[in-house]
Chains A and B, each alone.
Chain A
Amino acid sequence: MNEPTALLQFLGRLHPLVLHLPIGLWIGIVALEFGGAMVRRAPGRATLAILAWIAALGGAFAAGSGWLLSQEPYTGQTLELHRWLGVAAAAIGLIAASFAAMQTRGPFRLMLVVEFVVLMAAGHLGSELTRGSEWLFEPFESTPTATTSGTTDKPATANTFATAIEPLLQRYCTQCHGDKKQKGELALHTQALLLLGGENGPVLQPGNPLESPLYAQLLLPVTEDLHMPPDGKKQPTPEEIALIGSWIAAGAPFAASFESTAMPTVAAKPQLETQKATTPSIEPGSTTNVPQQQPTHDPALPPESAPVSPAPISPAPVGPVPVSPSPEPVSPPKSNPQPPGAGLSSDAAPTLLAVPPNPDPTTAGAAAVPEVEPAPARVAAPARVAAPARAAALSALHKRQVHATGIAEGDDALWVDFGPIAASTTEDEVRTLLIPVANHVQDLGLSRVPVSESTFVLCATMPQLQRLDLRSTKATTAMLRPLAGAPKLRELVLADTRLDDGAVDVLLAMPSLRTVYLWNAGVSDAAIARLRRREELSVDNGSGGNPTTTATTTKAAALQPQNTVCPVSGKPTDSRYVIVHEQHVVGFCCPNCPKTFWAEPSKFPVADR
């Protein structure tokens, strides 16, 4: 297919603009011709002829521009039908206009009716092309997709491709990347095509969401050209994006269920806590079983000739297809095979961590999936960004004066700090700059930076992220929820933020968290006390070290111990030997007694003066 020149491309893209003129005019002409007869005020033939010619020429132009537009990468049966119906409508329109000019009423009326029918058909197919076939009647359908978002109280463990991912693809993607249209030669309506990818290569890297365009392009700011779905189309919610991320992180299983790492709801909290109690701390890396290989389809093959599996999804879904018509219904936890060598009991499997099951060959289709070799359980090494790409991404950060540097020699891990440009950056810019390096970020500084839930959806998929600094941001508890899925997050700075007590549940759900800073974060003392019950977690809320209060009392009382008798020896105190213990000034008789006291303060009650 020849590349259209820029001018032709431009003319082609006028199609959606001009096509409405002939449609409107022809409707009007029909109304005048037949309606006029009914009210016995027939319009002049000349009037009709002029209108018919305008409509016919407009129709010809619309058909021509449509033809040009079809040279751009659109494919599919609907398009073919639309194209020829459009051409036919243009031709019939010209004939009808000619009859109108000749003032031969009978043939004109006949051609007018034919034109009307053909035009409506072409127009309807055209709208299907841009909006998708379900678009018009969708409001009448009870959309089961609503129940798939991660915010529902459905247990997160029940997520499977069919129940959670496929509806999302249908809702947001397949109108342009489906059976009717394959923009960018990408179709997402069958599993095989999903794995095949589009003209720019695969869209799915099982186990690696950030390297999967299917996920990463959702995260881009909507203003970016590469953002999907395009600006103006219906956008998925952050929870839904996170769900897709979790699915890919879990190895993109088609048959078995996967864990949604996002959004523990308050309702799910007790469950989470008991899981923590019964589940030994599992390093996420060690259990993540990521297929090493790309699906080895020949990218030269057109989608139609790709091996299509006897997939549980019908190849041409009509209307929203919530229920998988799979001959073997997927019932998640039972059919979830253990990764070989993972050594997890079945109790341990439904943890917060992604435990990806192997693709089940019986349901996932023999042709597409078996080529994805189930690798032995091993640490999911993030795919290395090629050195030049990494350098380009870093230099983009540097150019913007973002601090980004390798943490140490011979280590890919990065420390990225947006603090230096916090005053001038935007949430969108932060994400755009972060996505190319997201697989390497180990330490991320977002203090004082504008953040949103999308920021945290991105952070949650960073496989290396260990420290996240959100100090003095406008982060709220609701925004924070996706972070519960961050696999290695050890340290979280939330000082000076706008959380509430609900944040404690989010924090408790983080598997690797060891240190959290909560000074001035809007979390009550009671909630912090609840958080402190988790032993391995160090919580700093800024209490206990406020020198303005403790030290002033100390200063005033430095030479004035509260006791006159040494609590250790019982001798009179000496003003030189004074200590501050739990905000009390305690005097001793000699330099040695304080050491004794210090060893076990409770053994030596201090008598007040």
Chain B
Amino acid sequence: MNHLDPLQRALQLTRRRFFGTAATTIGAALGSVALAHDFGFGPASLGQRRSGDGSRTPRPHFAPKAKRIIYLHMEGGPSQLDLFDYKPGLVDRFDQDLPDSVINGQRLTGMTSGQKRFPIAPSAFAFTRYDNGGDGAEISELMPYLGGVAKELCIVRSMHTDAINHEPAITFAQTGTQQPGRPSIGAWLSYGLGSSNRNLPTFVVMITQGFGNMQALAARFWGSGFLSSEHQGCKLRSSGDPVLYLQDPPGVTSQDRRALLDLTHDLDAQELQRTLDPEIEARIAQQEMAFRMQTSVPELVDLSGENDATIALYGEEARKPGTFASSCLLARRLCERGVRCIQLYMRGWDQHGDLPNDMKKQATAVDQPIAALLTDLRRRGLLDETLVVFGGEFGRTVYSQGSLSRTNYGRDHHPRCYSMWLAGGGIRPGTVYGETDDFSYNIAKDPVHVHDLHATILHLMGFDHERLTYRHEGRDFRLTDVAGKVVKGILR
């Protein structure tokens, strides 16, 4: 790589790239060639330094409390009123109109803004106050297993977000902005932590189909945006081969595949020299990883080494690929194999109607596996260094959407408040943080914005959210944009 004159290299930039990347680029490219000379780096160092952040080597800013994160995203927006935000006073207000002073002119979705009245729907579920080593934590009967591990949880009842519909809200929760195109949390972490030579991706995503109303899940929720595409989440498929084309086709041996890759890399390297396009080096890296994944992924999904007691902990469903239980068990196995960001999506939490029946199915599917995951991580000594995050993109309204009875009702999207919980690495266990008003409509104490959550997640992973930046289109971008503060109250 070093035989080319740096000036020649710079001159070999295509015209489009030259004008597209401005003068600073040339300087950086020259500088990086010099660096490559000095340290014997291959072309891999070039693209990263050209745009983005020229100075940093991937490692945390300070010693992290959590080495990895498991983010359990409940797609659709589970009802905080039926899970964690216990409002016993609502029972007496059954079917009463929600006071206008509470709504206070705030935006509603088109699905309920035309309703003649907003009747209060108390939860149909009983709540239990579980011993969490502190003041106790109220969790509804939908999640009894989770109650059993309440000591690990820090429930945040005062989350709020800016978006009111699924698509922008998930985009916001995952990328820090409502518009598509920014890197996701996992991609930012992969960028910050580095993703050098591995046999599994840094960021892995798994999706479980739910029972209720399901919204589309776009791949950009775990995309890398303007970061190098090697940082995007790798989705493991729920049926068949976890990764497509993992097996060599009949008649092709591993050596054939290797020879093909070597040839492709030679060609790619030539093109990279010519264009200095970082996407090419990302592709080279990804192809190499894909080659290694031919052995590492089958080993990952082979559960024969898990004993019956472990399977029983997660539930028999864990043997069935694609279930949430199986994803939780795989999440633990991914942790053990060095994967740093693991995101599980559970679809189907969008209960506009028939909420009690839908939620029972949804909660049953996730309750035991999640509790099992926490228990399993705990006893294996992993939980103290693994951050587990549970939550949806927003909450649900206290008033019923559509008809209301004691046992059946629906709830619309509600961004003003919702509940999440965090556990593990660096989180203060056995706490309940934040309060909502009597109607779980507005936040009464300690609001936590999505940006604050992101800042806190980055903090626990060892990053200052204001310093983890990437230069793109002339400005430094970060996950928390221009906002966000670390929520000290939930830290250990």
Most A CB contacts (10 A, CB to CB) among B63, B127, B379 go to B379
Residues on the A chain within 8 Å of B462, using CB? 408
Contacts known (A517-B381, A540-B379); A551 close to B336, Cβ less than 8 A: no
In whole angstroms, how far apart are the Cα atoms of A206 and B58 in the complex?
Answer: 35
Contacts known (A408-B61, A545-B148, A554-B144); A471 close to B380, Cβ less than 8 A: yes
Q: Which of A68-76, A216-224, A590-598 contacts B (4 or more CB under 8 A)?
A: A590-598
Residues on the B chain within 8 Å of A580, using CB? 128-131, 147
Residues on the B chain within 8 Å of A496, using CB? 380
Residues on the B chain within 8 Å of A301, using CB? none
Q: At the interface, yes or no: B402 with Cβ under 8 Å from chain A? A: no
Give the number of A-B contacts (CB < 8 Å). Answer: 150
In whole angstroms, how far apart are the Cα atoms of A562 and B340 in the complex?
Answer: 45
Q: Which of A403, A408, A595, A598 contacts B63 (CB 8 A)?
A: A408
In whole angstroms, how far apart are the Cα atoms of A419 and B60 in the complex?
Answer: 20
Contacts known (A405-B193, A469-B381, A554-B144); A576 close to B127, Cβ less than 8 A: yes
Q: At the interface, yes or no: B312 with Cβ under 8 Å from chain A? A: yes
Q: At the interface, yes or no: B319 with Cβ under 8 Å from chain A? A: no
Question: Which residues 402-434 of A sit at the B interface, judged by CB distance below 8 A?
Answer: 403, 405-409, 411, 415, 417, 419-423
Q: How far is the CB of A175 from chain B (nearest CB, A)?
A: 42
Interface flags, B142-163, vs A, CB<8A=1, else 0: 0011111101100000000000
Q: At the interface, yes or no: B194 with Cβ under 8 Å from chain A? A: yes
Residues on the B chain within 8 Å of A548, using CB? 145, 312-313, 368, 372
Q: How far is the CB of A480 from chain B (nearest CB, A)?
A: 15
Q: Which of B67, B337, B378 contacts A415 (CB 8 A)?
A: B67
Contacts known (A408-B62, A419-B336); A401 close to B198, Cβ less than 8 A: yes
In whole angstroms, how far apart are the Cα atoms of A469 and B377 in the complex?
Answer: 13
Q: How far is the CB of A526 from chain B (nearest CB, A)?
A: 19
CB-CB nearest in chain B for A517: B381
Q: At the interface, yes or no: B375 with Cβ under 8 Å from chain A? A: yes
Q: At the interface, yes or no: B338 with Cβ under 8 Å from chain A? A: yes
Q: At the interface, yes or no: B99 with Cβ under 8 Å from chain A? A: no
Q: At the interface, yes or no: B59 with Cβ under 8 Å from chain A? A: yes
Q: At the interface, yes or no: A609 with Cβ under 8 Å from chain B? A: no
In whole angstroms, how far apart are the Cα atoms of A469 and B59 in the complex?
Answer: 21
Interface flags, B188-205, vs A, CB<8A=1, else 0: 000001101111100000
A493 touches B299 (CB 8 A): no
Q: How far is the CB of B195 from chain A (nearest CB, A)?
A: 11
B59 touches A409 (CB 8 A): yes
Q: Which of A420, A448, A515, A579 contacts B198 (CB 8 A)?
A: A420
A558 touches B126 (CB 8 A): yes
B148 touches A547 (CB 8 A): yes
Residues on the B chain within 8 Å of A145, using CB? none
CB-CB nearest in chain B for A423: B299
B62 touches A555 (CB 8 A): no
Residues on the B chain within 8 Å of A422, using CB? 336-337
B336 touches A547 (CB 8 A): no
Contacts known (A579-B136, A591-B88); A420 close to B60, Cβ less than 8 A: no
Q: At the interface, yes or no: A495 with Cβ under 8 Å from chain B? A: yes
In whole angstroms, how far apart are the Cα atoms of A581 and B152 in the complex?
Answer: 16
In whole angstroms, how far apart are the Cα atoms of A580 and B126 in the complex?
Answer: 14
In whole angstroms, how far apart are the Cα atoms of A589 and B343 in the complex?
Answer: 42
Question: Which residues 15-68 of B sit at the A interface, judged by CB distance below 8 A?
Answer: 39, 58-64, 67
A598 touches B141 (CB 8 A): no
- Size band of the interface chain A makes with B: 35 or more
A407 touches B63 (CB 8 A): yes
A552 touches B127 (CB 8 A): no
In whole angstroms, how far apart are the Cα atoms of A547 and B372 in the complex?
Answer: 7
B375 touches A546 (CB 8 A): yes
Q: How far is the CB of B153 from chain A (nearest CB, A)?
A: 12
In whole angstroms, how far apart are the Cα atoms of A398 and B289 in the complex?
Answer: 13
Q: At the interface, yes or no: B279 with Cβ under 8 Å from chain A? A: no
Q: At the interface, yes or no: B135 with Cβ under 8 Å from chain A? A: yes
B131 touches A542 (CB 8 A): no
Q: How far is the CB of A348 from chain B (nearest CB, A)?
A: 31
Residues on the B chain within 8 Å of A579, using CB? 128-131, 136
Interface flags, A379-415, vs B, CB<8A=1, else 0: 0000000000001000000110101011111010001
Residues on the B chain within 8 Å of A411, using CB? 63
In whole angstroms, how far apart are the Cα atoms of A580 and B138 in the complex?
Answer: 10
Interface flags, A545-584, vs B, CB<8A=1, else 0: 1111011101100110000000000000001111111100
Q: Which of B145, B146, B371, B381 contacts A540 (CB 8 A)?
A: B381
In whole angstroms, how far apart are the Cα atoms of A409 and B63 in the complex?
Answer: 8
B380 touches A493 (CB 8 A): yes
In whole angstroms, how far apart are the Cα atoms of A517 and B382 in the complex?
Answer: 10
Q: How far is the CB of B341 from chain A (nearest CB, A)?
A: 14
Q: Which of B59, B131, B368 contacts A581 (CB 8 A)?
A: B131
In whole angstroms, how far apart are the Cα atoms of A576 and B140 in the complex?
Answer: 11
Q: Which of A447, A582, A594 contacts B136 (CB 8 A)?
A: A594
In whole angstroms, how far apart are the Cα atoms of A496 and B60 in the complex?
Answer: 30
B199 touches A595 (CB 8 A): no
In whole angstroms, how far apart are the Cα atoms of A420 and B200 in the complex?
Answer: 8
Q: At the interface, yes or no: B292 with Cβ under 8 Å from chain A? A: yes
Q: At the interface, yes or no: A265 with Cβ under 8 Å from chain B? A: no
In whole angstroms, how far apart are the Cα atoms of A552 and B63 in the complex?
Answer: 39
Contacts known (A493-B380, A579-B128); A406 close to B59, Cβ less than 8 A: yes
Q: At the interface, yes or no: A9 with Cβ under 8 Å from chain B? A: no
Residues on the A chain within 8 Å of B382, using CB? 471
Question: Which residues 115-135 of B sit at the A interface, judged by CB distance below 8 A?
Answer: 126-131, 135
Residues on the A chain within 8 Å of B197, using CB? 398-399, 401
A554 touches B148 (CB 8 A): yes
Q: How far is the CB of B299 from chain A (nearest CB, A)?
A: 5
Question: Which residues 360-390 of B sit at the A interface, judged by CB distance below 8 A?
Answer: 368, 371-372, 374-375, 378-382, 384
Residues on the A chain within 8 Å of B200, using CB? 420
In whole angstroms, how far apart are the Cα atoms of A495 and B376 in the complex?
Answer: 11
Contacts known (A547-B371, A547-B372); A398 close to B196, Cβ less than 8 A: yes
CB-CB nearest in chain B for A594: B129
Interface flags, A58-93, vs B, CB<8A=1, else 0: 000000000000000000000000000000000000
In whole angstroms, how far apart are the Cα atoms of A595 and B144 in the complex?
Answer: 21
Residues on the A chain within 8 Å of B199, using CB? 401, 420-421
Q: How far is the CB of B360 from chain A (nearest CB, A)?
A: 12
18 A-B pairs (CB sep. < 8 Å):
A405-B193, A419-B337, A471-B336, A471-B380, A540-B378, A542-B378, A545-B375, A546-B148, A546-B375, A547-B371, A547-B375, A548-B312, A551-B146, A554-B130, A558-B144, A575-B126, A581-B131, A598-B135
- Knowing that A541-B379, A550-B148, A551-B148 touch, tell me 20 more A-B residue pairs with CB under 8 angstroms: A398-B197, A401-B197, A406-B59, A415-B67, A419-B336, A469-B381, A493-B381, A520-B379, A540-B379, A540-B381, A542-B379, A547-B149, A547-B375, A548-B372, A554-B130, A554-B144, A559-B141, A576-B126, A579-B136, A580-B130
Q: Which 8 interchain pairs have the tightest Cβ spacing? A: A542-B379, A493-B381, A551-B148, A555-B144, A420-B338, A547-B148, A517-B381, A519-B379
